[in-house]
Amino acid sequence: MNRDLPPRHIELRRSEGLAIVWTEGEESFYPVALLRRLSPSADARAVRESLAANPLTVLPSTSGSGPLRAESAEMVGNYALRITFSDGHSTGLFSWRYLREIDPKAVDPRRSDHS
């Protein structure tokens, strides 16, 4: 399996998450909160590293009101997806490889270092 191949189908369910059907037919679903928490952006990665080093780290405030939503998703070339969240965050590029790595079905729940 080539982990860099683009998916066959992508569906953004704004209040729920991202549904993907991969080229080999495997299906994945990523809840919005998981995508936001594991955003591959530099600032989100820095927050995860701070939390790993000190669980009492103060988290940055979010600018959105109401429940977190994925407002939009756009293809970046043929290798990634950029998701804009209701809190204004939109700097992380979710490569196909990274999405496979953070697939909730494949991730060991005891592992917290997805950076």
Q: Is residue 63 one of the residues assigned to a domain? A: yes
pLDDT score recorded for residue 114: 47
Pull the structure tokens for residue 2: 């080539």
Q: What is the pLDDT of residues 83-103, one digit of tens each?
A: 999 999 999 999 999 999 999
Q: Which of 33-37, 44-48, 79-83 is least confident?
A: 44-48
CATH number at residue 33: 3.30.2020.30
Q: Is residue 23 one of the residues assigned to a domain? A: yes
Q: Is residue 21 one of the residues assigned to a domain? A: yes
Q: Is residue 74 one of the residues assigned to a domain? A: yes
Q: Is residue 110 one of the residues assigned to a domain? A: no
pTM of this structure:
0.78
Q: Is residue 108 one of the residues assigned to a domain? A: no
Q: Is residue 53 one of the residues assigned to a domain? A: yes
In the 8-state DSSP scheme, what is residue 62?
A: P
Quote the domain boundaries for residue 23.
Answer: 9-101
pLDDT: is 42 or 91 the higher one?
Answer: 91
Question: β-strand 27-31 against 9-13: which pairing, if any?
Answer: unpaired
Which residues, including other chains, have CB under 8 Å from residue 61's CB and lie 6 or more apart? none
Q: Is residue 66 one of the residues assigned to a domain? A: yes
Query: What is the domain count for the chain?
Result: 1
Q: What is the pLDDT of residues 57-75, one digit of tens each?
A: 665 555 556 899 999 999 9
Q: How far apart are CA 115 and CA 76, in angstroms?
A: 20
What does pLDDT average to over the chain? 85
Q: How far apart are CA 88 and CA 14, in angstroms?
A: 14
